[in-house]
Structure 1
Amino acid sequence: MSTDPFAELVDDTPLSPAEALRSLLTSVKREYCPVRNSFVQRPPGSADRSASLASFVTNRQERALDAILTAYALQPVLSDDDPLPLGAWANIFSTRKPCGLTTVSKTFRVLEEMGLVTRRRRGHTTIITPLLEDGTGRPWSKPGLQSDESAEGGYFTIPHEYWTDGYIDRLRLPGKAMLLIMLKETQGKPPFEMAVDRAQKWYGISERTAERGYAELSAEKLLDIHIQRVASPRLPKGVLRERYHRALRDPFSTVRRRDLQLEARKQSTPRKGGK
């Protein structure tokens, strides 16, 4: 018999970027990330409907988009009392390709300039704090709370498979933009119908970006498409116009997102008798 009291202690191997990200997401205690609709589109009546998402797309800031969505997904695991070091951010941002400290710092600087995070130093630690999705610089809070004065426009959810199944790495900026738009538009019910030539007016992204985004989602087998043929007095006799209706498939379908929210509510509701 060994007399060494430490004989059974074995060192762990370092977590890969994907393993570290999955572990952090698991600790969130829910399986989706809530994001306000104002991130994708300004409210009706606004002179310009484009919102933060359009800025990421037009300025080609894909890594910054990945970073802010990941920061929202990790709330409330992150806190000022126990912030995630920049080195840890660099690790979880390296699931597709290596990301160093300099790149992480530049990425959060972009988000700071967009009014989506604050950065401040405490000793040798940089504390990253997300702000509201609309870029106004107001403090972030969980969407959907009764005390949430910024929830008038509603919110949508992103299932954690976006990160854990690698969609964040496989989709490019057009695919991510159209996925977020469709998540927002189908949160209540599917399907979603938008001619690509309306993308600029409605969301501030180009027709070409919308086309490429739809193509990426189709390549990932995330879309169901129904073509409806409708009559129009502006068409020749016997000719019908085609309208494309799209719905997201699992893991991003409307039904599954609703089920995830219902399950989260069940788990957060105290049982009678305190059990």
Structure 2
Amino acid sequence: MVCGVKQQTSQKPVASPAETREALLERAARDFAPIRRAFVQKKRDEADRSSRLAEFVTNGDVRGLRAYLFIVAVTSAETAESGWSTTLPGGVWARAFGTTENATPASARTAVTKVLKRLEERRLITYERPKGTWDIQVTLLREDGSLDPYTRPGNQNSDAYLKIPFELWRTGLIDKLSLPALAMLLTASCEPAFFELPTERMKEWYGWSPDTAERGFRELAKEGVLQVHKAYITAPLSPTGTAEVNRYVLLDPFIARPARKKAASTENAIEASGGAEAIGL
């Protein structure tokens, strides 16, 4: 006590991971993260169509995938010196990646370095510490793992890309979705509205198991991200002459913006034919 005044010993307020992410998303001055389809799947003429995403799935690296998606989301400007990069103090990266929970500051920063090292090994980024600082500069590479410099999809090029809306972070869904659900969200975001995706082809087409795909679809349906419609098609070689298929549709805000008009017309056509009904997985 000094001069009869009781000293305050309350802790200083510290920004939460959610507050840190929101500040960085606002700074990006857009509302979605553009990611080339090549990150999810290679082109049809490739013998092995699995791409970078399969490495996260088969290695069970949900933290790495969440970190990579966030880096893409907040890296919104290019400089002549460092390309498409974002430079932040290590502690800010730690909160953004969610490594600070139940961890000392030192261990949280070490976890960030481990995550970035894995992303660099997968040829998706490079990172370095600018000389004389505790900052970490993360620079994007092309999403296909070719080690080519990153360019903004849709910016004077015709590369197919998907859009991940910032609501994925702002609603906290990024922390709730498991690795199978995140992988299937990215996969579904590459597809047109009311798409069919036979899970038995997942290993051949994307590089992970049918069980992983099915678990991911069930979780997305449970979280209200995706709706499943049971439909019936003609099957000439079936004893009954008909077969049952699942058709999937992403719901707002996760449906790709350019496909919304198409999605509405497709949905109306299905409803008019009476050939499908929404189901739970």
TM-score between both structures, scaled by the size of structure 1: 0.81
- Aligned partners of 1:130 and 1:194: how far apart in 2? 30
What does residue 132 of structure 1 align with?
142
User: Is 1:41 the counterpart of 2:41 in the alignment?
Assistant: yes
Identity over aligned pairs, percent: 39
The match for 2:219 among 200, 216, 219 is: 216
1:141 and 2:155 matched: no
Instruction: Give the equivalent residue in structure 2 for 1:172.
Output: 178
Give the match for residue 28 of structure 1: 28
Query: Counterpart of 1:268?
Result: none
Q: 1:122 aligns with which of 92, 115, 130?
A: 130
Matching residue of 1:244? 246
CA contact (8 A) 2:86 2:139 kept: no
Deviation string, structure 1 residues 17-41 (Cα, Å, up to 9, x no partner)? 1011011101111111100000000
Alignment CA distance shift 1:98-1:201 (3 Å): farther
Structure 1 residue aligned with 2:89: 85
Kept in 2: contact 1:18–1:95 (CA 8 A): no
**SS in structure 2 opposite 1:213?**
helix
Please give the alpha-carbon distance, in whole angstroms, between the structure 2 residues aligned to 1:180 and 1:256: 16
SS at match of 1:47: coil
Aligned equivalents of 1:34, 1:47: Cα separation in 2: 26
1:199 equivalent among 192, 198, 202: 202
| Distance (whole Å) between structure 2 residues aligned to residue 107 and residue 95 of structure 1 | 10
Alpha carbons 2:162, 2:256 under 8 Å: kept: no
Deviations 1:11-65 (A, max 9, x none): x943211011011101111111100000000011100110001111001111111
Task: State the match for 2:236 in structure 1.
Answer: 233
Task: Give the CA deviation at 1:233.
Answer: 2.4
Secondary structure of the structure 2 residue equivalent to 1:204:
coil
Amino acid in structure 2 at the alignment position of 1:200:
K
3-state DSSP of counterpart to 1:84 = strand
Deviations 1:68-107 (A, max 9, x none): 1100000126875971122111011128945611111000
Shift >4 Å, 4+ stretches: 77-82, 95-99, 255-259
8 A contact 2:86–2:138 mirrored in 1 = no
CA 1:89–1:257 in structure 2 vs 1: closer, same or farther (change >3 Å)? farther
How many residue pairs match? The answer is 240
Q: Which moved more, 1:131-140 or 1:88-97?
A: 88-97
Q: 2: CA distance between counterparts of 1:98 and 1:41? A: 36
Provide the rounded CA distance (Å) in 1 between the counterparts of 2:188 and 2:26: 25
Q: 1:105 to 1:36 in 2, by over 3 A?
A: same
Contact 1:199 1:207 in 2 (8 A): yes
Aligned to 1:183: 189
Amino acid in structure 1 at the alignment position of 2:236: P
Change (3 A) 1:217 1:171: same
| Contact 2:67–2:97, Cα closer than 8 Å, also in 1 | yes
In structure 1, what is the Cα distance between the partners aligned to 2:97 and 2:142? 22
Residue 270 (structure 1) aligns with: none
What residue ranges of structure 1 are gaps of 5+ in the alignment?
1-11, 260-275
Measure, in 1, the Cα distance between the counterparts of 2:259 and 2:20: 24
Distance 2:230 2:242 in 1: 11
Q: Secondary structure at the match of 2:213?
A: helix
